[in-house]
């Protein structure tokens, strides 16, 4: 965590932090959201997102995270961080 991170001091809202990208992003979206969920809820959340019209971009890092996209190609990760680092 760094000084630029946004953390609710009362723990009521989500924490937001910035992470430098490895290079320019050629897609339209300029941000990429990671949604942390409990590991036992992740697959159900991914299935719900797909049922709502999203698509699976990659599950190669599961169960740490799944990358999904909406119809316009905006990406988000459903993350548990299990097995990562």
**Domain enclosing residue 65, as ranges:** 54-85
Q: Number of folded domains in the chain?
A: 1
If one counts every other C-beta atom within 10 angstroms of the C-beta of residue 14, the result is 10
The pLDDT of residue 20 is above 70 = no
The pLDDT of residue 81 is above 90 = no
Does 21 fall in a domain? Answer: no
End-to-end CA distance of the chain: 15
E strand map for the chain = 33-36, 55-58, 65-69, 75-79
User: Span 35-53, mean pLDDT?
Assistant: 94
At 12, the pLDDT band (50, 70, 90 cuts) reads confident
Does 34 fall in a domain? Answer: no
Q: Is 47 left (phi over 0), alpha (psi -120 to 50) or beta?
A: alpha
Does 48 fall in a domain? Answer: no
Does 63 fall in a domain? Answer: yes
Does 75 fall in a domain? Answer: yes
Contact 67, 75 (CB under 8 A): yes
Q: How many residues does the chain have?
A: 85
Does 24 fall in a domain? Answer: no
Does 73 fall in a domain? Answer: yes
């Amino acid at each position: 965590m760094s000084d630029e991170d946004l953390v609710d001091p009362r723990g009521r809202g989500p924490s937001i932090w910035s992470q430098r990208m490895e290079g320019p992003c050629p897609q339209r979206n300029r941000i990429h959201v990671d949604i942390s969920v409990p590991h036992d809820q992740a697959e159900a959340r991914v299935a719900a997102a797909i049922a709502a019209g999203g698509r699976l971009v990659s599950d190669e890092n599961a169960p740490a995270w799944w990358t999904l996209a909406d119809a316009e190609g905006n990406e988000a990760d459903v993350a548990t961080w299990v097995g990562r680092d």
